[in-house]
Amino acid sequence: MIISVASGKGGTGKTTIAVNLALTLSLDQGNNVHFLDCDVEEPNAHLFLKPLIDKRDSVKIPIPKIDYKKCNFCGKCGQACVFNAIAVTKNKVLVFPELCHGCGACTYVCPEKAIIEEGREVGILEEGKSGSISFLGGRLNIGEVMAPPIINVIKKKGIKRYKTRVDADKEIERQHILLIDAPPGTSCPVIESIKDSDYTVLVTEPTPFGLHDLVLAVEVLEKLQIPHGVVLNKCDIGDHKVEEYCKKNNIPILLSLPLDKEIAIAYSKGKPLIDLNSAYKQKFVELFQNIDKELKIIYDRS
Ligand code: SF4
Ligand code: SF4
């Protein structure tokens, strides 16, 4: 089962939900949990999971380098680049690496085969273990804006490993769960993070901003046809409009968490919520039961 945890806006408690769900499923329920931190612009799941990182790899994207022995300055590469990352003058081809998405279109269209691709590091990939949870995460280099290539590497590696383990354990009862902590928002990095999910948990708050960004996130999930439910964080602030919206649109509220000073203190110390008291642990057990129940209803219908 692949579950992603996302939110229309930042600061809703998305990572809190993702890490506490991972720890509950691993420690309390005895599942094999694979955790992917795809929030590569601001990764912080490691602050709570405290994984022992045993491998770091550079993530590079291919950017064009011109072979001036072959180039005839025809300009086709510049016309093909929708990101304005390459421009051709009378006797020079200018490449702007920070704008390049490494899509390869310029190399493809060059009639003289005058473009060689060379790797440019945009971030790193980290692999490790947090107890029995296998951890994969990434980090965008400072000043870089291209998160999707790093997310893509995390996803490919994480899903391959997860599927291999699922196949190997087919005969035994133990369940494998892949949990993805997606970046906030609704842009390309989010789509890249959640696109293979069986289910997405949307974390929000009962405020006008929370509702506005939840509606946008739901639109994305509906387009991607990914089943989804809501976690209402700080449920005792704001108004009831998020609940009314969910009810009207048949979106289940899977879990509600109060605004609690104890939670904020634990968060600031990098302490998981489930360590505070057994009632919180039980809430995360119920969160998973609700997701499981929702998926069973969907499978039964199809
Ligand atoms: S398409 Fe190739 S030959 Fe034409 S300007 Fe670009 S690099 Fe040079
Ligand atoms: S690889 Fe793609 S983004 Fe980069 S310069 Fe070539 S066409 Fe533009």
Instruction: Express each pLDDT in 26-78 by its tens digit.
Output: 987 778 999 999 999 999 999 999 999 999 999 999 999 999 999 999 999 99
Sequential DSSP letters for 201-243: EEEE-SSHHHHHHHHHHHHHHHHHT--EEEEETTTTSS-SHHH
CA of 106 to the centre of ligand 1 (A): 8
CA 103 to centroid of ligand 2, rounded, Å? 5
Spell out the alpha helix ranges (H) of the chain.
14-23, 45-49, 76-80, 105-109, 148-168, 188-194, 208-224, 241-248, 261-268, 278-301
Task: Using the mean position of ligand 1's atoms as its centre, give its distance from the Cα of residue 143 in Å.
Answer: 29
- Left if phi > 0, otherwise alpha if psi is -120 to 50, otherwise beta: which for 50? left
Token readout for 123 is 């971030």
Query: Which pLDDT band holds residue 142 (cuts at 50, 70, 90)?
Result: very high
Work out which ligand 2 atom sits closest to the CA atom of 99. 3
Confidence band, pLDDT 50/70/90 cuts, at residue 235: confident
Class of domain 68-113: alpha beta
Of 26, 35, 283, 70, nearest in space to 159 by CA: 35
Q: Is the CB of 88 under 6 A from ligand 1?
A: yes
Q: Is a pLDDT exceeding 90 seen at residue 263?
A: no
Rounded average pLDDT over 295-300: 86
Q: Which atom of ligand 2 is nearest to the CA of 101?
A: 3
Distance 116 CA to ligand 2 centre (A): 12
Largest CA distance in the chain: 71
Q: What is the model's pLDDT at position 239? A: 86
**Does ligand 1 lie within 6 Å of residue 58's CB atom?**
no
Ligand 1 pocket test target in 110, 116, 117 with most atoms within 8 Å of CB: 110
pTM over 0.85: yes
Q: What is the dihedral of CA 262, 233, 26, 34, to 10 degrees?
A: -130
| Mean pLDDT value across residues 283-296 | 93
**What average pLDDT is seen over the chain?**
93
For the Cβ of 71 lying below 6 angstroms from any atom of ligand 1, the answer is yes
112 lines ligand 1 (CB under 6 A): yes
| Ligand 1 atom closest to the CA of 73, numbered from 1 | 5
Q: Ligand 2 pocket: which residues have CB below 6 Å?
A: 63-64, 80-81, 83, 85-86, 100-106
Q: Domain boundaries in the chain?
A: 2-58+129-301, 68-113
61-75, 133-147, 174-188: range with highest mean pLDDT: 61-75
Rounded-to-10 torsion of CA 19, 24, 29, 31:
10
Is the C-beta atom of 105 inside 6 A of ligand 1? no
Distance CA 42, CA 31 (A): 27
Give domain 2-58+129-301's CATH superfamily.
Answer: P-loop containing nucleotide triphosphate hydrolases (3.40.50.300)
Nearest-atom index, ligand 2, CA of 95: 5
What is residue 219's predicted lDDT score, i.e. its pLDDT?
96
- Gap from CA of 194 to ligand 2 centroid (Å): 25
| More confident site: 287 or 239 | 287
At residue 253, the pLDDT reads 95
Could you write out the three-class secondary structure of 266-282?
HHHCCCCHHHCCHHHHH
76, 81, 96, 110, best to mutate for ligand 2 pocket (most atoms within 8 Å of CB): 81
pLDDT higher than 80, residue 171: no
Q: How far is the CA of 82 from the centre of ligand 2 (A)?
A: 8
